[in-house]
């Protein structure tokens, strides 16, 4: 499964983590491509503190956060880390986005495996059975 992660809000990153976890639990390999705001969520120190929701859900964010705490739902970041321990998950940073934002691999959380160009990711994605844009 290939995921293009364009969004960097919790309401989008949670499905990325859940889908990744489900896929690796089913024996699938997952390739994640972080670009623009999706990449921004993976800067060092940001995944553990990110709470921003998209404007579609900003009114519901406090109630949803409280419900998730009450139900002891792990964060998107914790879920994604756990998925990497279960099976093959590779997280790629977009080279062009890195260049635009003046970032190096050292600026990113250690969950990110490498930096690749769009063509390299597309080449990998074409081998997959599922490709999603989130």
How far apart CA 86 and CA 24 sit, in angstroms, is 7
Segments of the chain assigned E as strands:
2-5, 30-34, 89-94, 114-116, 131-133
Q: Which residues contact 75 (CB under 8 A, 6 or more apart)?
A: 48
Taking the alpha carbons at both ends of the chain, their separation in whole angstroms is 13
Q: What's residue 103's pLDDT?
A: 97
| Enclosing H/E stretch for 133 | strand 131-133
Per DSSP, the three-state class of 103 is: coil
Query: Which residue ranges of the chain lie beneath pLDDT 70?
Result: 57, 61
Q: Return d(Cα 124, Cα 109) in angstroms, integer.
A: 23
| pLDDT (0 to 100) of residue 20 | 98
Lookup result for tokens 């519901």? 60
């Amino acid at each position: 499964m290939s995921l293009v992660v364009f969004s960097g809000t919790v309401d989008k990153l949670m499905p990325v983590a859940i889908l990744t976890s489900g896929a690796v639990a089913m024996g699938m390999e997952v390739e994640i491509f972080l670009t623009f705001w999706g990449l921004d969520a993976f800067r060092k120190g940001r995944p553990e503190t990110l709470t921003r929701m998209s404007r579609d859900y900003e009114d519901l964010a406090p109630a949803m956060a409280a419900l998730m705490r009450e139900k002891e739902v792990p964060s998107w970041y914790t879920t994604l880390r756990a998925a990497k321990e279960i099976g093959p998950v590779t997280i790629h940073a977009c080279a062009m986005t890195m260049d635009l934002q003046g970032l190096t691999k050292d600026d990113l959380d250690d969950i990110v495996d490498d930096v690749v160009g769009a063509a390299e990711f597309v080449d990998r994605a074409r081998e997959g059975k599922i490709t999603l844009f989130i």
